[in-house]
A = this chain, B = another copy of it.
Amino acid sequence: MSKKPISSDSCLNMTLDSVRESLIGQEDTIIFCLIERAKYPINSPLYDESVAGVPGSLVEYIVKETEALQAKVGRYESPEENPFFPENLPPLIVPPHNIPQVLHPSGISININKTIWDTYFNQLLPLFVREGNDGNYVPTATCDLHCLQALSRRIHYGKFVAEIKFMDAPEDYSPAIRAQDRATLMSLLTFEKVEEMVKQRVEKKTMVFGQEVSLNDPDDKKGKYKVDPSMVSRLYGEWVMPLTKLVQVEYLLRRLD
């Protein structure tokens, strides 16, 4: 049988509405990933660089090698995906997919995954995962990988947000871009009411998705959540939205290159 390249019938009609819809859908994914990770205790040997058998920590090995495998079959052809270990990626083994490019070429390579990695492991994880070690290292590391990929996709989606906003009103952004004025760009991209609404929505979603559902709804389970809803609100307010705006600013600074 002769082999043929893969191709999709998608076409990129990105609008501010479709970008918003994607961001809202990604909230569900992030919350599902956090809930799944919270099933396991911290399992700290995963993060210990002195564990035998692999270079670095076990979680680093698993993320790096999974990215390498997924790179071979085209994950990082998509401008929505950004690797944590870009220096480690092998070439494609499938024919290239030729995804239509909507981003400005100078902005495509923006990658703040180093910051996301450090924030996730050092600040976020201790907030929602209990102490302990149940030995489920590979499933736990897989949950970490999913959390990292979901957060990275959400935060780097700022490139698309910035592109759409710029195309909508280039005259609003161009003076600050020409002046390379980060502070003005950041204030142009900040809408406190919208951010407050997003924080409330992810808190509500965590209450819905993180509840214990049973047929008889006993009272003692009411108000108990698998992940603290206010923690997810804080995650968005302190990290996800500020980092998304950082990506937007970085993108806009290069938009007229």
Q: Does A39 contact B (CB under 8 A)?
A: yes
Q: Which of A21-80 contact B (CB under 8 A)?
A: 24-25, 28-29, 32, 35-36, 39, 43, 45, 48-54, 58, 61-62, 65-66, 69-70, 73-75, 78
Q: Does A1 contact B (CB under 8 A)?
A: yes
Contact B94 A51 (CB under 8 A): yes
Question: How far apart are A149's CB and chain B's nearest CB, in angstroms?
Answer: 9
Contact A51 B215 (CB under 8 A): no
Count of chain copies: 2
Size of A's binding interface in residues, CB under 8 A: 66
Question: How far apart are A29's CB and chain B's nearest CB, in angstroms?
Answer: 6
Most chain B Cβ neighbours within 10 Å, of A52, A54, A58, A66? A52
Interface residues of A (CB under 8 A from B): 1-10, 24-25, 28-29, 32, 35-36, 39, 43, 45, 48-54, 58, 61-62, 65-66, 69-70, 73-75, 78, 81, 92-95, 97, 99, 132-139, 141-142, 197, 200-201, 204-205, 208-209, 211, 213-215
